Structure 1
Amino acid sequence: MQTILFIGSNKSGTSRDALKTAEELGYFVVLFTDREKFIQQREEFCEVHQMIYFENLLDKELLLNEIEKLQLQGKEIKGCISFIDPFVNLAATLSNEMELSNLSTDALYLMEDKTRFREMMIDHPATPMFDVFRPHIDTLHNCIERHHSSLPLIIKSPVSNGSKDVILVDTKEKLKQGLNKFLSLNPYSVLIEEYLEGPQYLVEVLVHDGEVHIVGVVEQKITKMNRFIVTDYLFPAILKEIEYQKLVETVESITSTLGVINGSCHLEIRLVDGDWKLIEINPRMSGGAMNRIIHEGIGVNLVKETISLYLGEVPNLQGQHHRYVYGKYLTVNSRGKLLKVTGKKRASMHEGVIDVYVKPRKGSILSPPLSMGDRYAYVLAAAETPQKAKEIAINAAKEIKFFLEPL
């Protein structure tokens, strides 16, 4: 029984798309999860043939023991994959050890920690000014004195993702508060970075046998609330030819420096005074609706082709068509218990809308966004021009209303 093993998944988005895609390809799908709630909601994961709970998904020995049990049951493991942090490198390492793939695990390891990555790329022209505050070799006072003249700054936890634990500080007091907060989460280090102004883009990359494929460049609109939350996506992004060529050169240089021969990643990168500066890189494709956005835009199912790469096959990244896709995400402005959501059907009836998704259920507690996980719905629209796709998505999104009971 040909089996693909997935380590971790979210309830929706790219990682869930991967489970469904593997099942559609005819594989027996096994999910290792550390979410007890998924076990309780087992019937909702109809594409998963076997779900196994682990309290700690990073315990490699326990995973190997369970894999051995699966093999004794007659399951032929063809792939071991993860689409979510922090399990990407672990899955790739297991896959390589089982001789199922030849993935660039050293590069994936570097990408999983922002401090490791920044220090590896310290001399690269796409790297902004940064510093790592380590309280065991430095003092908070010295760090603040060293950096207060460079405000505003971005401070991050080294293992943050989805805009969690990433904040902008513009005063000495906020810098001090932010450093103390992140030290309570990670007492070993805090990443401090230059704040860059300029349009931001998401770049989806697949590297096969050393050949870098830029599958998609997506323009992002960031809403500066309590965090940097991406609320709008336009694919494909509109760039001048010289900007795109410099982007290709920058991405190829970054992946080469990291030593990526086989692997998937996405970059968040800003155009600053004509130069590309890397905000961050992650060792997997982007989550949320990204697979649907790219598929609707150019006809490439990037989840499917990433699975192909992990199975040791040659990915097919040839686009089938070209149209613009706009994604509009919705958040809420106050905290409360969800009573109901209206307008989903009306939104889906707008001509050009290709998908409407509402995440929370009745009774859920909703809050203003502190991470990308606090985006509660989205509308995707497609059209022959970027302006039309944007207009459709934004107008359709206005139909959706969240009714909350204040807490």
Structure 2
Amino acid sequence: MDCIVFLETHKSGSSRDAIEAAVQMGYFTILLTQQMKKMNQREEYPDVHQMIFVKDLQDKDVIYEKLAIINKQEKQIKAFISFVDPFVRLAAEMAAELGLTSLSAPALYHMEDKTRFREILNGHPAAPKHAVLSLEKDADTLFHTYADQLPFILKSPVSNGSKDVLLIKDKEAFLDACTYFKRQSGLSSLLLEEYVEGPQYLIEIIVEHGTVQLAAVIEQIISKEARFIITGYLMPAPLSDSSTEELQTTIESIVHHLGLTHGTCHAEMRKTDSGWKLIEINPRISGSAVNQLIYESTGISLVKETLKLNLGDRIDCIPKKQLSAYAHFITIQGRGKLIKVTGKQKAKTVASIKKVYVKPRRGSILSAPVSMGHRYAYVIASSPDKDEAVNAAKSAAEKIKFHLEPI
């Protein structure tokens, strides 16, 4: 029996889409998880054929023990993969050790930590200026060292989803940020980056034996610049041919410098007067609604193509259709315990709506957004007309209401 082993998954989004795609491709799916909550909610993962608990997914010896048991069950492992931070590079390394398709694990390693990829790209035309700050140093002294660079970005080297990414405009914000970061266990340094202005885009990248393909270029709509909360995604991004060509060249150069010759990643770029600038790069497809958004726009399942890349099969990123697709995310103001959510069915009846998703359960504590994990629902619309897709998604989102009990 041919199977694909996944290291961890989220309950929804691209990582879960990948498991569903594996089932559709005819593979037996095995999930290794370190979250007992998933084991207790086993019935909510019908697409996972076999779920195995591993206390620490960074412990390769224990994982190999589990794989030995799988092999004794006459299951043939064809791919070993993760779509979840921080297991992407580990899965790639172990796949190579198992004699499976080999991805560019060193490049994935560089992308896992923001300090590492900044150092590799130091001096690259697309790389904003940066510095590494030690949290052991006096915050007041640090501020005066970099005050002439205001405004700038402070972030954790291992942040994702806009968590722990702060825009610093003055001394008070800097000192507050240092105090905040010092409270975090295991964090000894911060990454300071030049603040870059300009529209922001999400680029999904797939590299097959050195050939770089931009599988998707998506415009991001940022509602809260201080925390960089993205509430809208438009595919395809409205870019000129010349801008797209320049982006392709820039991405190829970045990928080459990082050493990625076989694998996937996604980058966040800003288009500035001095060219494209790299804001983030991560060693996997974006999470949440992005795979679904790409599918509604092009007919391409990027997680399926990623699985094919890991299986050693040829990929196919040629669009099957060409529509505009828009994903609109919902946040709330204030804080409270969720009593109920209304309007979901009404949202589904809006013309051009393809998906409506509400994340939190009754009783969850909700709050105003400080990271993208505080986006509590989304809707996706697609249409031949860009404005129609955007308006439909926003109209449907307005029908969804979160009813909270103050706490």
Residue 98 of structure 1: aligned partner = 98
Map 1:221-370 onto structure 2 (within 5 A). 221-224=221-224, 227-370=227-370
Quote the offset at 1:323 in angstroms: 0.6
Distance of 2:109 and 2:377 partners within structure 1: 32
Distance of 1:302 and 1:38 partners within structure 2: 25
**Would you identify which runs of 4 or more consecutive aligned residues in structure 1 move more than 4 Å?**
none
Residue 56 of structure 2: aligned partner = 56
Which AA in structure 2 matches 1:343? G
SS in 2 for 1:390: helix
Which AA in structure 2 matches 1:175? F
Map 1:102-251 onto structure 2 (within 5 A). 102-135=102-135, 139-185=138-184, 186-224=186-224, 227-251=227-251
Distance of 1:40 and 1:332 partners within structure 2: 29
Deviations 1:347-384 (A, max 9, x none): 11111111111111111111111221211111111111
Asked whether the 8 Å contact 1:217–1:236 carries over to 2, the reply is: yes
Which AA in structure 1 matches 2:176? Q
Distance of 1:340 and 1:18 partners within structure 2: 30
Deviations 1:215-268 (A, max 9, x none): 110000011166211100100000012211110110000001111110000000
Cα 1:351/1:187, change in 2 over 3 Å: closer
SS in 1 for 2:183: helix
After the TM superposition, which of the residue ranges 387-396 and 262-271 deviates more from structure 2?
387-396
Distance of 1:165 and 1:61 partners within structure 2: 32
SS in 1 for 2:90: helix
Asked whether the 8 Å contact 2:21–2:303 carries over to 1, the reply is: yes
Quote the offset at 1:101 in angstroms: 0.7
Quote the offset at 1:181 in angstroms: 2.1
Deviations 1:273-300 (A, max 9, x none): 1510000100000001111111111111
SS in 1 for 2:26: coil
Quote the offset at 1:142 in angstroms: 3.3
Asked whether the 8 Å contact 1:29–1:49 carries over to 2, the reply is: yes
Distance of 2:187 and 2:319 partners within structure 1: 46
Residue 65 of structure 1: aligned partner = 65
Distance of 1:124 and 1:88 partners within structure 2: 25
Which AA in structure 2 matches 1:199? P
Quote the offset at 1:386 in angstroms: 1.2
Quote the offset at 1:80 in angstroms: 0.6
TM-score normalized with structure 2 length: 0.97
Which AA in structure 2 matches 1:166? V
SS in 1 for 2:294: helix
Deviations 1:146-170 (A, max 9, x none): 1112211111100001111111111
User: What's the RMSD between the two structures over aligned residues?
Assistant: 1.2
Identity of aligned residues (%): 47
Asked whether the 8 Å contact 1:341–1:400 carries over to 2, the reply is: yes
SS in 2 for 1:268: strand
TM-score normalized with structure 1 length: 0.97
Residue 74 of structure 1: aligned partner = 74
Residue 376 of structure 1: aligned partner = 376
Quote the offset at 1:188 in angstroms: 2.3
Quote the offset at 1:316 in angstroms: 1.1
Distance of 1:63 and 1:111 partners within structure 2: 23
Quote the offset at 1:180 in angstroms: 3.1
SS in 2 for 1:20: helix
Asked whether the 8 Å contact 1:225–1:369 carries over to 2, the reply is: no
Quote the offset at 1:321 in angstroms: 1.0
Distance of 1:225 and 1:245 partners within structure 2: 28
Which AA in structure 1 matches 2:390? K
Quote the offset at 1:15 in angstroms: 0.4
Distance of 2:400 and 2:211 partners within structure 1: 43
Give the count of matched residue pairs. Answer: 406
Distance of 1:227 and 1:39 partners within structure 2: 34
Asked whether the 8 Å contact 2:135–2:178 carries over to 1, the reply is: no
After the TM superposition, which of the residue ranges 231-240 and 178-187 deviates more from structure 2?
178-187
SS in 2 for 1:217: strand
Quote the offset at 1:314 in angstroms: 1.1
Distance of 2:212 and 2:382 partners within structure 1: 27
Asked whether the 8 Å contact 1:337–1:406 carries over to 2, the reply is: yes
SS in 1 for 2:20: helix
Quote the offset at 1:318 in angstroms: 1.1
Distance of 2:44 and 2:259 partners within structure 1: 40
Map 1:37-56 onto structure 2 (within 5 A). 37-56=37-56
SS in 1 for 2:215: strand
Distance of 2:225 and 2:46 partners within structure 1: 37
Asked whether the 8 Å contact 1:183–1:189 carries over to 2, the reply is: no
Asked whether the 8 Å contact 1:155–1:179 carries over to 2, the reply is: no
SS in 2 for 1:115: helix
